[in-house]
Amino acid sequence: MTPLYNPALLPAERTRLATSLRPHLVTSLLGFLRRLGADGAPQHQLVLGPSGSGKTMLLRTLQTEVLADPELARRWFPLTFPEAQWDIARTADLWANALDYLVVALERRAAGGADALRARIAALPEDVDQRGPAALALLVAEAKRLERRFVFLIDTLDVVLERLKRDQWEVREVLASQSEVLVIGASARAIEATYRYDAAFYDFFQLHELRPIHPDLLPRLLDRVAADEPLYRTLALALAARPAIVRAALHLVGSQPRMLALLGRALADAPEASAATLVQLALDGWTPAFRARVEPLAPQSLMVLHALASLWHPSRPQEVAARSRLAPNVVSAQLHRLVQEGVVDKVPLGARVGFLIADRVLQAWLLMRLGQPHRRRLAAAADALAALGDTDLTREAGAAGPVQAPDEADPERHSHVAPELRSLMGSSYESAVFASQAALAGVETGARGISDQRSGLGKRT
């Protein structure tokens, strides 16, 4: 069985999944490690991507690829930090944790020195002011002993930096001056400390973003992993046999790696499922994660989120106020809070500002969970997109020449679904195409790229 939420459960021979699904980024990061010289502080790296985009798998892949490459393994020693870094409260904890993970790595690789290092860790001073510098000095000494530099592969780097908020300038100074440590971190959201002009890590990291996989690349990429990954193999076979159904689902729920696996699982359970059923089965797999994300929100924030989900399009505060029946000033305050928390994005909307749920998968899941009328809209849109077929859906929004509404193009085939499609995605087929492509690309009217939150309307204050 393929684990969907914890790649650490995969056996060693299956830890290179990101090499197949994210080949350009893996190649770029490995090439970056090869180009670095032996001296000087390296350029630290930050990978941004929503939940399910393959951040953890990417870091695991980098670890495996570095160790498998004789040149890289001779120069670099990867240390993989687990997702849960809740025990970090001060800088000393970061360096001490790195030492603990180094002990584990030495034992696994039979590299020698693990017992001696464990004893030296136990001898670190308890005093906070002394423990941090001593732990860092021990880490640097180990790098010199091993004659390799450390690559910190830190998942949920946003959590780590948030917990070190009081010490961020100290961490920056160390990372900027110590050539023995390179950080490749991952985060599900833009990190405030990296895009505020007055913050410690402003323009400190080189950014990479895990965007949805383009549908034209999917058949080839899925074929590369099909032999070892049953869920992706099921999806690849369905994409070849029933392309309109699968692509319709992809237009609505996106093509991030975890969603691809969930679609494969849905197809394994229901091989003849309609597009609507496929979408709902795939979205249902996100229920535990999304419930944990939205239920802690304040009641008024939930009302605003409900309104945004039902509106679907980028919406002005006045529209959200009318839909939620909350006072405009209350809506504005809640939208600001949701933007700060990374749940909602600001997007250009004509000459003004609109708001949209940041994660299009979350938006589709909310629509499914809001009740039968909204679930029916989502189902009708999925079946409508399947009925329209690939040729129509891949037309560029705003392309030269008028775009016919589906019932105008073929009344017999599309008239029964066109009203529902318009109800969900807009008043014309052209806006439906635009919304569908945006949901898949994660850019225009869909969730804005996470790195885009650092500039323009996405900048947070």
Which of 291-305, 315-329, 367-381 bottoms out in mean pLDDT, i.e. has the lowest? 367-381
Are 138 and 231 part of one and the same domain? Answer: no
Are 112 and 232 part of one and the same domain? Answer: no
Are 186 and 217 part of one and the same domain? Answer: no
Are 217 and 135 part of one and the same domain? Answer: no
Are 258 and 303 part of one and the same domain? Answer: yes
Report the pLDDT value the prediction gives residue 101, as an integer from 0 to 100: 93
Are 233 and 258 part of one and the same domain? Answer: yes
Is residue 190 a part of any domain in this protein? yes
Categorize the per-residue pLDDT at 443 as very low, low, confident or very high, splitting at 50, 70 and 90. Answer: very low
Is residue 376 a part of any domain in this protein? yes
396-424 tens-digit pLDDT: 333 333 333 333 333 333 333 334 444 44
Task: Give residue for tokens 């069985």.
Answer: 1
Is residue 1 a part of any domain in this protein? no
Are 288 and 429 part of one and the same domain? Answer: yes
Distance (Å, whole) CA 201 – CA 199: 6
Which of 209, 227, 245 is the endpoint of a domain? 209
Which residues, at least 6 apart from 391, have a Cβ–Cβ distance to it below 8 Å?
none
Report the pLDDT value the prediction gives residue 387, as an integer from 0 to 100: 79
Domain count, the chain: 2
CATH classification of the domain holding 81: 3.40.50.300
Are 346 and 231 part of one and the same domain? Answer: yes
Is residue 398 a part of any domain in this protein? yes
Which of 145, 179, 209 is the endpoint of a domain? 209
Query: Is pLDDT of 432 > 80?
Result: no
Give the structural domain span for 314: 213-461
Are 190 and 237 part of one and the same domain? Answer: no
Categorize the per-residue pLDDT at 378 as very low, low, confident or very high, splitting at 50, 70 and 90. Answer: confident
Burial of residue 333 (CB within 10 Å: 0-12, 13-18, 19+) is: middle
Is residue 163 a part of any domain in this protein? yes
Report the pLDDT value the prediction gives residue 3, as an integer from 0 to 100: 55
Report the pLDDT value the prediction gives residue 132, as an integer from 0 to 100: 92
Which of 149, 176, 209 is the endpoint of a domain? 209
Is residue 44 a part of any domain in this protein? yes
Taking all residues of the chain, what is their mean pLDDT, rounded to a whole number?
A: 80
Are 197 and 247 part of one and the same domain? Answer: no
This prediction's pTM: 0.78
55-112 tens-digit pLDDT: 988 999 999 999 999 999 999 999 999 877 778 889 999 999 999 999 999 998 877 8
Is residue 2 a part of any domain in this protein? no
Are 374 and 461 part of one and the same domain? Answer: yes
2-20 tens-digit pLDDT: 555 555 555 555 556 677 7
Report the pLDDT value the prediction gives residue 10, as an integer from 0 to 100: 59
Categorize the per-residue pLDDT at 434 as very low, low, confident or very high, splitting at 50, 70 and 90. Answer: very low
Task: Give residue for tokens 């091989």.
Answer: 271
Are 222 and 205 part of one and the same domain? Answer: no
Is residue 100 a part of any domain in this protein? yes
